[in-house]
Amino acid sequence: MTALADILIRRIASTGPINIADYMHECLLHPEHGYYSTRDPFGTHGDFTTAPEISQMFGELLGLSIAQAWIDQGSPTLFTLAELGPGRGTLMADMLRACAKVPGFVDACTVCLVEASDTLRAVQRETLAGHDVQFSTDVQSLPDGPLFLIANEFFDALPVRQFTRHENGWQEHQVGIQNNALALGLSAPAPITALNHRLGDTVPGDIVEICAAGTGIIATISDRIAGSGGAAIIIDYGDWRSKGDTLQAVKSHAFCGPLDFPGQSDLTAHVDFEALALAASATQTTPLTPQGVLLERLGITHRAQALAKSLGGTALQDHIAAHRRLTHPDEMGTLFKAIALFARGCPPPPGFVA
């Protein structure tokens, strides 16, 4: 049993079952035993690999999209370039390197990383050595002024609540105890106002999820962009409207049960992009765009060909495989999707349509 399982069992024994959001939060961010608090989980030796870790092209192209959005808004001379959940800091490093060629951009920006894990902050500091970087734990404390923001695989790490529809309302999924081990259970059915909009597209037995943390963060970003200018690009796996149980646990590149290794496996849930778009009511949002389409529109094939010229042998094979992995429909190309938020009256960032 993991140390965190022990702590959770004692807590549940004294105060009763906890919901899935509380369980996810403890597993990912418990200060001593949380998954992100205790490790750098990325890469082939870790638990999973993310797009920026697959190829530098990902960050370069997204950086240039953000830079063009900045130019389209008159190149404001002071702005915040923010990233939510930067992992190893690779995406931001690749963005800044590509954007160094855009006159004025790097000098005008204050780089702000929203990161909860001290362990990963240390890794990000190292990756971004040579850049002035500010850290915060929430989007409310980002500096005032225009905000250009990126988030890759951040929203899927935020805690979700899960509910099963019942004749008499909804039953919330809970983590309780059975035979001195963590076990899933259901609350008594009750009406849930926040799920009234799901009464039309569900029947008893269907499972839906709510990510209150995600919609709260998006509403803050949307208000900021509407008030001070800027744009945000959100990339993640998920769909326009999530339905069903999407909670998943991954350890060493293999799936495991969400209760099997609390604090030692990565827990994620699909992002419900419709819910994010509805929360971004102060700004415009683009249609949901598959990652492969977005990267193709941003010119990944040209960039891949240019980089290939200086490569040979296994490095070239790896580079070709990375291009395919990021864009192909059988790989990350359609599983991962993106939306952008942008101020009314401005064009969307390149790669997106309005």
Report residue 70 as tokens. Answer: 């900045």
Instruction: Give start and end residues of each alpha helix (H) in the chain.
Output: 3-15, 20-29, 35-38, 51-54, 56-72, 90-99, 105-108, 118-127, 212-228, 273-279, 291-297, 300-308, 313-327
By CB under 6 A, tell whether 36 contacts ligand SAH: yes
Q: Which range, of 6-14, 111-119, 127-135, 173-181, touches ligand SAH by CB under 6 A?
A: 111-119
Q: Which range, of 65-73, 112-120, 168-176, 203-211, touches ligand SAH by CB under 6 A?
A: 112-120
Tell me, by CB under 6 A, how many residues bind ligand SAH. 20
- Single residue of 117, 162, 164, 264 touching ligand SAH by CB under 6 A: 117
By CB under 6 A, tell whether 263 contacts ligand SAH: no
Quick one: which of 90, 87, 109, 88 has its CA closest to 100? 109
Least separation in angstroms between residue 207's CB and ligand SAH is 23
Evaluate whether 154 touches 85 at the Cβ level (below 8 Å). Answer: yes
By CB under 6 A, tell whether 116 contacts ligand SAH: yes
User: How many CA atoms, within 13 angstroms, populate the side-chain half-sphere of residue 150?
Assistant: 26
Which residues 130-169 are close enough to bind ligand SAH by CB under 6 A?
Answer: 152-154, 157-158
Residue 27 carries which side chain, given as an amino acid letter?
C
Q: Which is nearer to ligand SAH, 5 or 139 (CB)?
A: 139
Which residues 41-100 are close enough to bind ligand SAH by CB under 6 A?
Answer: 42, 50, 52-53, 85-87, 91
- Single residue of 21, 120, 225, 279 touching ligand SAH by CB under 6 A: 120
Q: What angle do CA 259, 264, 54 make, to 5 degrees?
A: 115
Q: Which residue is nearest to ligand SAH (CB)?
A: 85
> Which residues form the interface with ligand SAH (CB under 6 A)?
28, 36, 42, 50, 52-53, 85-87, 91, 114-117, 120, 152-154, 157-158
